[in-house]
Structures are given as structure tokens and as C-alpha cells.
Amino acid sequence: MRRREFIALLGSAVLPASARAQQIRTIGLLGSSSEVAQREWTAAFVKRMAQLGWSEGANLKIAYRWADGRNERFAELAAELVRLNVDLILTHNTVPTLLAKQATSSIPIVFATAGDPVGSGIVASLARPGGNVTGLSGQAPDTAGKRIELLRELTPGLERLAVLTETGNPFASLDVKEVERAARTFNVQIQTVELRSGDEIEAAINPLKGRVQALYVQPLPFFFANRAPISTAALAAGLPTMFVIREYVQAGGLMSYGPNWPSMWRRAADLVAKVLNGAKPGDIPIEQPTQFDLVINARTAKALGVTVSPALFARADEVIE
């Protein structure tokens, strides 16, 4: 080997991580909703990645795949990203994360949000996830109780609460149990209502009128894709609604209380950057939410005849007029 070639080879072998990182790495982003619906979250992630030195078009490529809230597409899209041999798969929500994990045990997976990642089987523990997965839990202690408490402020004498849920979703069943535990504290009876398709929304919600006093909607991809019809049906049935994510309230729901998802997507970027820089996902502890938002739709409250106290409005992080 010529001396010059040997020196060049030796130099490339000892390049610092910052220099080696300039090679283009590919992330597969498995979106549970649509590009438009997730635009704010994706933008938060991409901006934070650029701040960490990973810029699209420079040293980062993102292969976007959108499931549009259709659970049956998650496995197919996860398998497609595995075939592309991406360097990392970024997911959010429980079901797509589980299916991505089933699709590969070698490609690192980071989830921006997932409900009860230990209980649903995504990771072994919060402190040491193990395997090829890490991310951010969407769960925090007593958030279900906080939502019921907020509903009781808007619905004095709340005794009967319906929970809109989805059959076969592992997070949904765990969340129902959490809501039931919290409801017992307030002597509130729970009635679960299963929704399997967008065609059944009115048929599922309309009969609740007069039977329950409010509706609790779980944060599931299928529900997110149908958030406007769900909110419209609940309004027609005269039911105050509680959600986890602000986008439901923007679509006409009454109130939401839960983690700030753009913040979680920004934090997911930090985890992704760690993995791209060589950290093992299984060694990175699962993070929990730190920023929670209360969002109230004043128009919907007026349409329902619900009185929102000035004190509750003052506590809200956002009021939609």
C-alpha cells in the first residue's frame, strides 16, 4: 500500500464522532395519522434534530410513512421501513410501536409517545428498556383522576361517565382500568363504549344521551383520525367531552388535559440523536411527560350550556374562543 493511501486510511479510522456523523443517516418515521394532522409534531422534531446537528438534506434523510389512523396499515408500513434498512424507526402511540418491534429486533426504535410502555409490553422497564427500543411514555401518575376531576368541575354531580374505547388495542384496555380506578375515588360509574369503524360513531354515541353525563375519549390513532365526527356526535348528544390531546378540542371537543405532544416530539429528537451517535436504545431510560396542557373550547361549552368558571379558564393553557 502506498504511504499516502495508508495515511488517508488511518486518518479516516480515527475521525471523531462529530466528523463521522456527517454521513447521511436515514430515519423511518412511522406516523399513525396523516402528514397534515401531525405537521406540528413533526416540525418540532425536525427543528430539534437540526439544533442537535442533524439536518434534512445535509446529513439526515427521513422516510415518512403515514397510516392515516388505519390500524391495519401499521404492520405493512413497519415492514416496509425494515426493508428500506433505515438506521432508526421513529414511532408514536402503542400499537404502531409494538408492530415496529415485531418487525425488527435489530433496527433501533424510538417512540415519541406511547401509553404505558411497560404494561403494554413495549419495554421491560422504564429504567432499563432493554432490546432495541426506547422513548417517551405518555402516561403519568393520576392523570386519569385529574381528567375526571376536571369533568366534575364542569358537570356538577357527575355520577355516570362513558369511555369511548377500541377493541383489541392493548393500551385501550389498560387505560380503561386506570380510568375505572380513578372513577371509584369519585364514586363515578363507568360505561365503556366500543368503536370499531368511522361508520359507527353516531350509532355508538347517540344512545348515550340521557344515560351518561359526560364522555371520556381515549387517545387512539383511529379516534384521532375521526376526532371531528366524534366531537360533533358528542355535541349533538349534549355530552361534555374529555380528551387527552389538544387537537381533539380544536376539532370541536370540549376539553383536554394531557402531555404537550410537540414537547414530547422535541424530546424524542434528543433520544434519536443519542442513538444515531452510538448509544444503545435499551440502555436509555424511558422518559415521562413533564409538560401538561389544559385546553378548553369556549364555543363548545356555550353550545352545550356548560358554565366554565373564571377560575378554570384562568388555569387553562389555551382557550379556544
Residues 114 and 223 in one domain: no
Residue 6 lies in a domain: no
Q: Are residues 99 and 149 in the same domain?
A: no
Residues 278 and 302 in one domain: no
Residues 101 and 233 in one domain: no
pTM for the full model?
Answer: 0.86
Confidence band for 6, pLDDT divided at 50, 70 and 90: very low
Do 193 and 165 share a structural domain?
yes
Q: How much is the mean pLDDT over the chain?
A: 91
pLDDT in tens, 19-30: 444 689 999 999
Q: Is residue 155 part of a domain?
A: yes
Q: Are residues 196 and 304 in the same domain?
A: yes
- Edge-to-edge strand order for the sheet containing 60-66? 60-66, 25-31, 88-91, 109-114, 133-137
Task: Tell whether 267 is covered by a domain.
Answer: yes
- 151 and 167 housed in the same domain: yes
Q: For position 259, what pLDDT does the model report?
A: 93
Asked if pLDDT for residue 2 goes beyond 60, the answer is no
Question: Could you give the number of structural domains in the chain?
Answer: 2
Mind listing the pLDDT tens digit for each residue in 159-210?
999 999 998 888 898 899 999 999 999 999 999 999 988 889 999 999 999 9
Is residue 277 in a domain? yes
Per-residue confidence (pLDDT) for residue 142, from 0 to 100: 74
**Domain contains 126:** yes
Q: Residue 39: give the domain boundaries.
A: 16-139+261-290
Average the pLDDT over 255-279 and give the result. Answer: 96
Question: pLDDT tens for residues 100-122?
Answer: 999 999 999 999 999 889 988 99
186 and 220 in a single domain? The answer is yes
Are 266 and 223 found together in one domain?
Answer: no
pLDDT-based confidence at 140, cuts 50/70/90? Answer: low
If pLDDT is split at 50, 70 and 90, which confidence band does 10 have?
Answer: very low
